[in-house]
Chain A
């Protein structure tokens, strides 16, 4: 069922490694250095927060890791794949099978029902209809939306929409969960609900999580490690003892 062969990954090996990665672009006459020589390593199973003010390059960095964007120079290696060397087609496959993404604005397709939204990645993976529906149902049940399958996103609250988006991110059983301000549009109670789920996937399924946020409190509460960016550069990288200590010892591999 897993379309990309499972590479046995040991704990505490690098899931993501970037070396002097840059993403520059032109805006009119100005050269914008969105990401400017960032080198970092994220271990398999880690929960990392990318912090910084707006324009610090944290979202650009996340897009590079997600394979949505290509670095101007330097390299991003995710599970031994150098993303800069992948073709557009291979990058799409990478996004499909290795990465799950959630966004601040949920990004569900408004004309589709929840189950259709959730099973959309399986369509791209050419999974047959029968299996698709079963897996969408399972994923939605896991985020507590088993009864809302036939609803359209506009009929749901923000928290419910983000849960559906989480279900969609997990449907292809990715190794990597990338979250771009996942609680930015939610009140603190539903935000907490979402974050608890993310933590659950990190711990129970062994997924590596990279979350972009500007809320330091949120990062301190959930992330094991906090990486600070400013003007496209890495300015600080510190473990978060509080969150790490709560991590249980015996974690399962992703199924």
Chain B
């Protein structure tokens, strides 16, 4: 039989026992809907998490540190390289070299130090970190009060919320509602902080104002330097709600300075002591550098190139790779749970078709007597199963999409009530639509395998014998 004939006969046969076949089709729809729901939840969650990671600015960053930092903790991958003691120093020339690597947007030294900040004559000790101008687009500054640094050298500071609370002496009691960020910002913005820090200066009597001022022939001077206590006034221009360095763990900073300003201060960093014997080139030496890559997909080659230069490199990509692994497992689980309902529905198809064979036993006998081949009968039942599968698949996708919309709507009402930005946890990509309908079709055909075979083998003499 030709396909249009098959389809036509299948559809009319289905419409003959409309209620029963509708219920079976509905069963498939529920199965497909649950599959779509589960998988769209998975995709939605993944998209939402990846978006956050990308916006955090850490996704396209390679963190570089000297192998010297690794002394005493040889990791497997590091063992093959030069011994930590003899490896390269992470200095300015290494930084510019990294900046010249293909696909690199910028390479900024990580400057962080612990210092005392005086606010209204009260000292507060905290970790301070420098931010490059590109950090402005960082997701963490979304809910910030005030402004980002006016320039890269401005004597300005952005405070993290918890530090702002500390300055105002508003440590919230456990369980009490946290003060809102605008509440904290109002009394602090525009106020002045005094930072006291230790400057590392060459032993020459005059402290140089910037790194460029250091002359190349000052080898000796760089190798032995003095530490001078200094003060720097800073204007509070922003209070950030979230932590832009949330991926850094315990070493999180709570006060941020513009990068160029921080560099010019020559604050003594803990690593400097170790470098005394090696820092002979007269260049600034960094404990670590953040290399920003133009495109997250190019992180791997950049990371490899930096490793080849003899440094230790780490990127979130390494972390995201295991994250993707987690998502793959999550997908499999969601898929299996979603498919369970479809598996139950496929039993429904088998049941419906076996019933149909019993009911249409005589009809099958007649068709065979007037010339239908086994294949014709088999294809007819296949077509019926397939039609139920496709119809069920379409209805199921619509159903699953509707459920997703309702849940999106619901969660966003909740998020809004918590004054959080809206999220789309539920996404139905087009491939999922196509895949679900195709999957329902294939599952239905598989379910039709046994009934169709049974109908095809029916003995026409037996089928026609009884009224």
Contact = CB atoms under 8 A, between A and B. Distances in A.
Interface in B349-387: 362-363, 365-376
A88 B374 contact: yes
A103 B371 contact: no
B2 interface: yes
A107 B371 contact: no
Of residues B16, B369, B370, which shows the largest number of chain A Cβ atoms within 10 Å of its Cβ?
A: B370
Interface in A103-142: 103, 105, 107-109, 111, 120-121, 123-126, 129
Contacts of B13: 111
B369 A66 contact: yes
A124 B464 contact: no
B370 A101 contact: yes
A68 B375 contact: no
Interface in B101-140: none
Given A68-B461, A69-B461, A124-B1, A92 B368 contact: yes
Contacts of B2: 123, 126
What interface size band does chain A fall in? 20 to 34
A68 B364 CA distance: 13
- Chain B's interface size range is 20 to 34
Interface in A22-75: 63, 66, 68-69
Contacts of B374: 88-89, 92
A111 B360 CA distance: 11
B369 to A, nearest CB: 6
A69 to B, nearest CB: 5
Contacts of B9: 123
B7 to A, nearest CB: 12
B150 to A, nearest CB: 79
A85 to B, nearest CB: 17
A64 to B, nearest CB: 10
Given A109-B363, A111-B16, A123-B5, A96 B460 contact: no
Given A89-B373, A92-B374, A68 B368 contact: yes
B372 A68 contact: no
A68 B369 contact: yes
Nearest to B12: A111
A68 B368 CA distance: 8
Instruction: Give the residue among B366, B367, B460 with the most A Cβ atoms within 10 A.
Output: B366
Given A63-B461, A68-B461, A111-B16, A123 B1 contact: yes
Contacts of B12: 111
A95 B461 contact: no
A124 B9 CA distance: 12
B467 interface: yes
A173 interface: no
Nearest to A178: B369
A120 B368 CA distance: 11
Chain A at the B interface: mostly helix, strand, loop or mixed?
helix
A255 B464 CA distance: 30
A203 interface: no
A169 B375 CA distance: 21
Contacts of B5: 123
B159 to A, nearest CB: 79
Contacts of A121: 370-371
Contacts of A97: 371
Contacts of A123: 1-2, 5, 9
Contact of A172 (B367, B371, B372, B375): B371
Nearest to B9: A123
Given A107-B366, A111-B16, A124 B372 contact: yes
Contact of A103 (B16, B363, B376, B464): B464
Contacts of B376: 92, 124
Contacts of A169: 370
Nearest to B463: A68
B9 to A, nearest CB: 8
A120 B365 CA distance: 13
A88 B368 CA distance: 11
6 contacts: A92-B372, A93-B371, A95-B371, A96-B371, A101-B370, A126-B2
Given A92-B368, A92-B372, A123-B1, 16 more contacts: A63-B461, A68-B461, A92-B373, A92-B374, A92-B376, A95-B369, A96-B371, A103-B464, A105-B467, A109-B363, A121-B370, A121-B371, A126-B1, A126-B2, A129-B4, A169-B370
